[in-house]
Amino acid sequence: MKSHHSQEQGQGLVEYALILVLVAIVVMGILTILGPQVGEVYSRVTVALSSGDGPITGITAERTGHGAGNDVTVQVTVSEDTTVTIKDSQSGQTRTMSCSSSCHHTFTGVGHSGGTVTATAEGGGMSSGYGAQGS
């Protein structure tokens, strides 16, 4: 009788382990899908809280077809002539340029994952996210 009882406990533990594995797989899938969007929102909130009103009024970042989708084109709009520094979170590439009304730059070979581009200028900054290659 004792042997039958321990087998039932072992079966219960295996069932709990399978449920935990299933939950972990679902959570990883959700984070893979929503990760770049969550990162973008986090970056925007961080920049908004840490900086005052600066000359940057908008930023977009999107993958281009060049480099098999490994390039990201960034468009920055500003309210006045200023020097803007943009940085890609995934590749670590940085570019500083002069902007008057708007400017753009293409980061090449950024990688396959999603990322965030942050533009900063005197007095503030903004961020924009881009999805993983093929998404």
pLDDT tens, residue by residue, 107-117: 998 888 888 89
Q: Tell whether the model's pLDDT for residue 93 goes beyond 60.
A: yes
User: For residue range 31-62, what is the model confidence (pLDDT) as tens digits?
Assistant: 888 877 787 777 767 766 655 567 888 899 99
Query: What does pTM read for this prediction?
Result: 0.60
Which domains are delineated in the chain?
A: 5-130 (2.60.40)
What is the structure's pLDDT at 33? 86
What is the structure's pLDDT at 88? 93
Residue type, 127: S
Q: Tell whether the model's pLDDT for residue 83 goes beyond 80.
A: yes
What secondary structure does DSSP assign to the chain, as a single string? -HHHHHHHHHHHHHHHHHHHHHHHHHHHHHHHHHHHHHHHHHHHHHHHHH----SEEEEEEEEESGGGGTEEEEEEEESSSEEEEEEETTT--EEEEEEBSEEEEEE----SS-EEEEEEETTEEEEEEEPPTT-
**Are residues 99 and 78 in contact, defined by beta-carbon separation less than 8 angstroms?**
yes
In this structure, the dihedral spanned by the alpha carbons of residues 22, 23, 24 and 28, taken in order and rounded to 10 degrees, is 100
pLDDT band of residue 10 (cuts 50, 70, 90) is confident
